[in-house]
Amino acid sequence: MYFKVLHKNYLPPLVDSWYITEPDLWYVDYDQAGYAPSEYREERKGIRILNETTIANFLERIEKYERFTEDIRLEFLRELRTNREEAYYDYNQCFFIDFDRLIFYSTYPESISFEEYIPNKWEGYLQRFDEQVLYKYRYWEDKNKNYLVRED
């Protein structure tokens, strides 16, 4: 699972970071998702809602899951050569979170609507967000070719 976090006003170096984690860490509002504090994963202990005041603490806790675009691109292209179908599923980006504009995009492939579990001021969308990501951070593209688009 790949998650893009965009938070330029508070943490500039994170604009080029992706995180590979369990998806349930990315419910923006654990209250909306129905989690009791005793059910929080270690990385979310004490963080009910991901927002501009809690994101720095959360990202510190998940730093070990951080991956850089070029590393993911190389792994993805390598896996495409050996197992194309699995690469399409494994490397499909799932979430794009813009903490500056309070927008959550989801393309999560299973039947959980992460985009619904957000605080009141937020907007949530179930839609592709490829175009929201600057080209240099699109690990699924190389030499202007989108490798997540199937050519069957």
Res. 95 pLDDT band, cuts 50 70 90: confident
The CA-CA-CA angle for residues 43, 53, 128, to 5°, reads 70
Tokens representing residue 81 in the block: 């050569």
pTM of the model: 0.78
What distance in Å separates the CA atoms of residue 113 and residue 111, rounded to the nearest whole number? 6
pLDDT in tens, 135-147: 888 889 988 888 8
Least confident window among 13-17, 61-65, 67-71, 113-117: 13-17
Cβ of 61: how many Cβ atoms within 10 Å? 16
